[in-house]
Amino acid sequence: MPGKVVLVTGCSKGGIGFYLCERFAEQGCTVYATSRRLETMDGFKHLVEKRIMDVTNDDDVKLVVKSILEEQGKIDIVVNNAGAIAIGPLLDVSLDQARKAFETNTYSVLRVAQAVAPSMVQRKQGLIINIGSLAGNIATPWNGLYSAAKAAVRALSDVLAMECKPFGVKVMLVAPGQVRSNITANQAATLELSPTSIYKPYFDRVYERLNGSQAEGSMDADEFARRVVVKVLSPNPPSYISLGGMSSLFGFLSWLPRWLVLWIVGSMMVWTKS
């Protein structure tokens, strides 16, 4: 579908958003990549317009959306990809950390959707894509904030899909499994537990969870993006996509009783000390 205007959030080099921009541009779309800093988006091989946008800032989002609509007259597809990992035991995190996790991973989705949707409703067409996570489908230990924030994204996506359907606007939830990207790079160098944490004996388990998405069997971020874009630009895009390492396992787990899922995941990630 050449000629589509696409807005993607969270497009730092090496991440899923960066490669989504490349693959949309490769298919002839007019692509707007956004990040908090322009220099983080260096290296596009295809023609991609870059914009500074902080998804946690109302004014930033409204101004960028307005500028694209003035330039192009429409936004056909918006991809809410911006997000940040938040590894650590729930009992150790501060409420400030919790607020930041939800601000970046969840509230940003609603903020961007509210800014873009009116123009889509007016044209009676458009697609809102929200990047969730398998961890939002089945929560995983040591990743509680991220799991909770992405679970909220799943709920928001479901409700948006129902509420937007009468106006011709579609909503798609994409739940990545293990995908090799730069999402853990920032926290990897600073991850530590408080000296008073009751979870000190489990630090190795926590660190393993941080790097879980980069483990053997993970899907390359560019390949992930290529497959997603093929689905998105198909004549009848699905409402849900799950790709990447562990996606088949988590799909199987979703059919099991909750108590059994907690036992399996807990056995894998918690109940063995460092």
**Number of Cβ atoms within 10 Å of the Cβ of 237:** 16
User: In this structure, is residue 21 part of a structural domain?
Assistant: yes
User: In this structure, is residue 274 part of a structural domain?
Assistant: no
User: In this structure, is residue 20 part of a structural domain?
Assistant: yes
Nearest alpha-carbon partner for 23 in 273, 232, 274, 245: 232
User: How far apart are alpha carbons 188 and 213 in whole angstroms?
Assistant: 12
User: In this structure, is residue 66 part of a structural domain?
Assistant: yes
User: How far apart are alpha carbons 112 and 101 in whole angstroms?
Assistant: 16
User: How far apart are alpha carbons 133 and 167 in whole angstroms?
Assistant: 27
**Alpha-carbon separation of residue 105 from 10, 58, 191, 230 (angstroms):** 10, 15, 19, 25
Give catalytic status of residue 150 as yes or no: yes
User: In this structure, is residue 112 part of a structural domain?
Assistant: yes
User: In this structure, is residue 174 part of a structural domain?
Assistant: yes
Sign of the dihedral defined by the CA atoms of residues 154, 159, 164, 168, in that order:
positive
181: CATH: 3.40.50.720
Q: How many domains does the chain have?
A: 1
Structure tokens, 21: 């921009």
Within 13 Å and on the Cβ side, how many CA atoms surround 34?
27
User: In this structure, is residue 198 part of a structural domain?
Assistant: yes
Domain of residue 233 covers 5-269
Give catalytic status of residue 146 as yes or no: yes
From the list 150, 170, 199, 202, the catalytic residue is 150
Q: If you write DSSP's letter for every residue of the chain in order, what string do you get?
A: -TT-EEEES---TTSHHHHHHHHHHHTT-EEEEEESSGGGGTT-SS--EEEE--TT-HHHHHHHHHHHHHHHS---EEEE-------B-GGG--HHHHHHHHIIIIIHHHHHHHHHHHHHHHHT-EEEEEE--HHHHS--TTBHHHHHHHHHHHHHHHHHHHHHGGGTEEEEEEEE-BEESSTTHHHHTT----TT-TTGGGHHHHHHHHTGGGSTTPEEHHHHHHHHHHHHTSSS--SEEEESBTHHHHHHHTTS-HHHHHHHHHHHHTSS--
User: In this structure, is residue 111 part of a structural domain?
Assistant: yes
Give the pTM: 0.94
Render each residue's pLDDT in the chain as its tens digit; 274 residues.
458 999 999 999 999 999 999 999 999 999 999 999 999 999 999 999 999 999 999 999 999 999 999 999 999 999 999 999 889 999 999 999 999 999 999 999 999 999 999 999 999 999 999 999 999 999 999 999 999 999 999 999 999 999 999 999 999 999 999 998 877 666 665 688 888 999 999 988 888 888 776 677 889 999 999 999 999 999 999 999 999 999 999 999 999 999 999 999 999 888 665 5
Contact by Cβ (8 Å): 238, 231: yes
User: How far apart are alpha carbons 245 and 195 in whole angstroms?
Assistant: 34
